[in-house]
Amino acid sequence: MPAVTQKSALEFAPTGLYVDGRWRPATGGATFAVHDPATGRTLTEVADASVEDGRAALDAAVAAQADWAATDPRERSEILRRAFELLTGRAETFAMLMTLEMGKSLAESRGEVTYGAEFFRWFAEEAVRIHGRYAVAPSGGTRLVTMRQPVGPVMAITPWNFPLAMGTRKVGPALAAGCTVVLKPAGETPLTTLALARVLEEAGLPAGVLNVITTSRTAEVSEPIIRDPRLRKLTFTGSTGVGRTLVGQSADQLLRVSMELGGNAPFLVFEDADLERAVDGAMLAKMRNIGEACTAANRFIVHESVAEEFSARLAERMGALTVGKGTAKGAEVGPLITEAARGNVAELVEDAVTKGATVLTGGEVPTGKGWFYPPTVLADVPEGARVLREEIFGPVAPITTFTSEEEAIRLANSSEYGLVAYAFTEDGARTLRVSEALEFGMVGINQGVVSNPAAPFGGVKHSGFGREGGFEGIEEYLETKYVGIAP
Ligand code: NAD
C-alpha cells in the first residue's frame, strides 16, 4: 500500500451524509468546514444535515431494525470482525485523519486506532454470546424463560476528543446486539466517523443499519430524533451540561439512556508510592490526548512528604515534552481543539496563579499559529482555585497536598464528578481500602490509564451512567424479556 499522505487520508473520508446505505449531500447542498487546529486552515467541507436529513436517517434506521435484529448473530459478528480487520489495515489513514482534524500527534492517533478498532473485535466476540436463562419457578409449575432482545433504533452522539474510539465503543455493541444506529459525530471531527462508516459499508453492513449525519445545527437536528417515539435508545458521550439537556429531552419517551460525561479525576500519590511509577503514571494520566480526555488527571493530590520530589520530577518530564503540529516528526503535544478551549485553559491557570499557585513549568500562551498550550505544572494550588473544580481539558497539572489517608479520600471525593480516580501506593491493604472508598466508576491503581475494551468504562454522579466495553457494554443495547411457560 502506498504511503499515507494528508491528501490520501482526506480523500478516503467521504464528505456526504450516509443514510440508508447511500452517500448523499445534505438537503439543499449545505456544507460546513472542518478545520485543522494546528493551523486554523480548512481541511474540507462536509454535508450539513437539516432536520429533514436527520429524520431520514431515523426513518432508515427504523426500516432496517427488524431485519438486522433477525440477522444471525454469527453474521453480525463477522461483519464487525471484518470491520476490525479493515480498520486495522487502514490504521495509518485513520491516524492521519484524526491528527488532521483533532490535533493530537500521529503516535497518539495510532494508539487510538488500536484502542478504537478493538471494540469491534471485542463486540464481534460478544455478538455470539447473548444468553437468556431457564428456571423452574420456586413454587413449581411455571417455567421462567428469559430472552435478550435488541432495544431497537439507537441515536449515538459522540465528542471530538477521541473521534474513532467514542464511535466504535457505541456502534460495536449496538450492532452486535442487533440494533440499528443514527450516529452524529462532533462537528469538529466528522471525518473519522465518515471514514468509519465507509469501512463498515465495505465490511458488508446492510443499508440503513448505520446512518451518519454531520451537522452544524446539532441541537436543532438531534432533538426531533430524540423525541421521536420510534427511537428506543440514546447514547451520549460529551459534556455534563449537554448530557443533562439530553436526559431532559429523553424523558418524554422514557428512552433508555447512557451518558458518558465529564470528569475531574483525582490522582493520589501516597507516601509509600513508587515515585518513578507515579511520575510515569502521571505523564499518561495527564498528557494522554493532550489532557483532552474525560479520564485526564485533573487534580494531583500528593502526600506532603513526597510532594516536592514528585512535583519536581513531574515538572521536569512535562517541561521536556515537544510541542508541535501533530503531523510533525517528534511532536508529542499537539494543539488544543479550538481557540476557545485554549482560552479556557489559560484562564484556569491565571486564576490559580492569582490565588497563590506556583508555576513550575509552562503557563505561558505561545504566540503564532494554532491553539497550542505548553505542558504546565502548578504547585501549592489552593483549594479555592477553579482549576481543581472544573474540567481542565488541557495539559495542566495542578498539585495539592494531604497529610492522612482520610484527608486524601475526602479531597478526592469532593467533586460532583465520579468518572475515574488514580491512586499510587505499594500497600496492598491500602489499595483495597482506597478503592472501596473512592466514589468513582473506575479506579486505576499504580497505572495512569484504565481504558480497556474488555473492561466496563463509565462513571457515577455527574459523570453519568451506563457502561461501555467489557461484558457490560452490550447490556446497554439489550432488553430482557421474561416468558412464563406453563408446562
Ligand atoms: P459537547 O458536550 O460539547 O459535545 C458532545 C457532542 O454533543 C458533540 O457531538 C456535539 O455536537 C453534541 N452536542 C452539543 N450540544 C448539543 C445539543 N444541545 N444537543 C445535542 N447534541 C449536542 O462535548 P465535547 O466538547 O465534544 O467533548 C468534551 C466533553 O466530553 C468533556 O466534558 C469530556 O469529559 C466528555 N467526554 C466524556 C467521555 C466519557 O466517556 N465519560 C469520553 C470523552 C469525552
- In a domain? residue 143: yes
CA of 238 to the centre of ligand 1 (A): 2
- Whether residue 18 is contained in a domain is answered as yes
DSSP annotation of 26 = P
User: In angstroms, what CA-CA distances link 438 with 13, 130, 133, 219, 396?
Assistant: 42, 32, 34, 35, 23
Identify whether 458 is part of a domain.
no
Residue 159 neighbours by CB under 8 Å, 6+ apart: 166, 186, 237, 238, 239
- Co-location of 33 and 52 in the same domain: yes
Ligand 1 mutation target, pool 239, 244, 339, 417, most atoms within 8 A of CB: 239
pLDDT tens per residue across span 443-455:
999 999 999 999 9
pLDDT of residue 269: 99
Q: How far apart are the first and last CA of the chain?
A: 62
Same domain, 135 and 250: yes
| Ligand 1 near 216 CB (within 6 A) | no
Assess whether 305 and 372 both reside in one domain.
Answer: yes
Tens digit of each residue's pLDDT (9 = 90 or more) over 41-60? 999 999 999 999 999 999 99
We report the CATH number of the domain holding residue 36 as 3.40.605.10
Share of the chain above pLDDT 70, in %: 100
Q: d(Cα 43, Cα 41) in Å, to the nearest integer? A: 6
Pocket test for ligand 1, best of 115, 237, 472 (most atoms within 8 A of CB): 237
223/348 same-domain check: no
Distance of CA 308 to the CA centre of its chain: 33
Instruction: Determine the pLDDT at residue 92.
Output: 98
Residue 245 and residue 154 share a domain: yes
Q: Is 424 helix (H, G, I), strand (E, B) or coil?
A: strand
Please tell me the distance between residue 242's alpha carbon and the centre of ligand 1 in angstroms.
Answer: 7
Residue 1 pLDDT > 80, yes or no?
Answer: no
CA 253 to ligand 1 center in whole angstroms: 22
Q: What is the mean pLDDT of residues 221-226?
A: 98
* Among 108, 294, 332, 475, the one annotated catalytic: 294
Domain that holds residue 279: 265-453
314 with 206, same domain: the answer is: no
- Is residue 222 in contact with ligand 1, taking CB distance under 6 Å? yes
Question: Looking at the structure, do residues 374 and 472 belong to the same domain, yes or no?
Answer: no
Ligand 1 centroid from CA 237, angstroms: 5
Q: What's the domain count of the chain?
A: 2
Distance (Å, rounded) from C-alpha 124 to C-alpha 176? 6
Nearest CA-CA partner of 35 in 102, 92, 95: 102
Per-residue pLDDT, 277: 98
| Ligand 1 contact, 159 CB (< 6 A) | yes
Closest-lying ligand 1 atom to the alpha carbon of residue 468: 40
**Choice from 102, 161, 166 to test ligand 1 binding pocket (greatest atom count within 8 A of CB):** 161
Q: What is the mean pLDDT of the chain?
A: 98
Query: With contact defined as beta carbons under 8 Å apart, do 54 and 30 qualify?
Result: no
The pLDDT tens digits for 382-434 are 999 999 999 999 999 999 999 999 999 999 999 999 999 999 999 999 999 99
DSSP per-residue string spanning 176-227: HHT--EEEE--TTSHHHHHHHHHHHHHTTPPTTSEEE---S-HHHHHHHHHH
* Res 164: pLDDT: 98
- Concerning whether 260 is annotated as a catalytic residue, the answer is yes
Same domain, residue pair 182 and 277: no
Q: Which atom of ligand 1 is nearest to the CA of 169?
A: 40
* Cβ pair 376, 361 in contact under 8 A: yes
Are 250 and 270 found together in one domain? Answer: no
Centre of ligand 1 to C-alpha 190, Å, is 13
Q: What's the average model confidence in pLDDT over 6-29?
A: 98
Q: Whose CA is nearest to atom 20 of ligand 1?
A: 219
Distance 239 CA to ligand 1 centre (A): 4
In a domain, 459, yes or no: no
The predicted structure's pLDDT at residue 2: 80
Ligand 1: distance of its center to the CA of 262 in Å?
8
**Ligand 1 atom closest to Cα of residue 457:** 40
How many Cα atoms sit within 13 Å of 179 on the Cβ side? Answer: 33
Q: What is the CATH number of the domain that holds 435?
A: 3.40.309.10
Give the single-character DSSP code of 161. S
Does some domain include residue 430? Answer: yes
pLDDT, mean of residues 111-134: 98
Domain assignment present for residue 1? The answer is: no
For residue 92, being part of any structural domain is answered with yes
Nearest ligand 1 atom to the CA of 158 is 9
Nearest CA owner, ligand 1 atom 17: 219
Q: Which residue has the cell 491557570?
A: 349
Burial class (CB in 10 A: 0-12, 13-18, 19+), 193: buried
Answer whether residue 38 is part of any domain: yes
User: What value does the mean pLDDT take over residues 69-84?
Assistant: 98
Asked whether residue 218 carries a pLDDT value surpassing 80, the answer given is yes
Kindly report, residue by residue over 279-330, the tens digit of the pLDDT. Answer: 999 999 999 999 999 999 999 999 999 999 999 999 999 999 999 999 999 9
- Pair (367, 295) in one structural domain: yes
Percent of the chain topping pLDDT 90: 100
Q: Is 391 near ligand 1, meaning CB less than 6 Å away?
A: yes
Instruction: Determine the Cα–Cα distance for residues 224 and 467; give it in Å rounded to an integer.
Output: 25
Q: What is the mean pLDDT of residues 211-221?
A: 98
For ligand 1, mutation pick of 112, 182, 242 (most atoms within 8 Å of CB): 242
pLDDT confidence band for 141 (50 / 70 / 90) = very high
Ligand 1: nearest atom to the Cα of 249: 19
Q: Tell whether 118 and 195 lie within a shared domain.
A: yes
Based on the domain organization, do 252 and 288 belong to the same domain? no
Distance in Å, CA 189 to ligand 1 centroid: 12
* CA atoms lying within 13 Å on the CB side of residue 315: 17
pLDDT digits (tens, 9 = 90+) for 225-266: 999 999 999 999 999 999 999 999 999 999 999 999 999 999
Cβ of 15 below 6 Å from ligand 1: no
